[in-house]
Amino acid sequence: MKATNIFPLTFVAAKLLLLPSASTAFVSPLAKQMFATTKHMKSMDSAPLAVSLSSDVSIESDTSAAISAAQKQKELEQFPRTKLAHLPTPLEYCPRLSEALNGVNIYIKRDDCTGLATGGNKARKLEWLMAEAVEQGAEYVMTQGATQSNHCRQTAAAAAKLGLKCHILLEERVKGDADYNENGNVMLDDLFGASREKRGPNLDMAAELEAV
């Protein structure tokens, strides 16, 4: 693809990998900071005090961990962010499931309510990624995923909302099933104006994206 100001992005092995050009790969400061914060938050799952990190994040932690987590949240605030999702999403209590599990209180985080292209949790990371793309003056965003990727669907929607062009590489893991390969999220990718290419299974999709 020959174009200027292309901002490829992808999500690989729980890290945000940003490829600013077709010849250079790097993990941006944003990606490093968000990955470090995610690791830190996961390490505090069993601590005793509920602490709100932002309008949309609540974790269990002790006091010292809460301070450190708040510092991480403050560090994230230095990065540009664009509003794409309806946040905070609600926590919905599940009384019958709680009863079936002997009284354990079960709540579901309703990330189907984020509002971006039928919802989904990928809207959160896209608020930072798309803001960085706009700040860099990108005209295109590029990404990759499996055929029915929610990330690709929401990236296409975010690009349309921000007036950017979007190109998607889809890894076709299910052969010969037209309903799977052309409907659902793929149809939505098309409706949002994204261009797309297919790749076979078991390829290095990050490398395939870089080669476009």
Residue 149 known to be catalytic: yes
Do the beta carbons of residue 75 and residue 33 sit within 8 Å?
Answer: yes
**Cα–Cα distance, 150 to 136 (Å, whole number):** 25
Catalytic residue among 28, 46, 61, 149: 149
Q: How many CB atoms lie within 10 A of CB 122?
A: 25
Please count the residues of the chain: 212
Strands 140-146 and 165-171, bridge-based pairing? parallel
Name, in order, each residue with C-beta under 8 angstroms of 146's C-beta and a sequence gap of 6 or more: 170, 171, 173
Report the 10 Å Cβ neighbour count for 61.
Answer: 23
If you ran DSSP here, which 8-state letter would residue 139 be given? S
Q: Which residues are catalytic?
A: 149
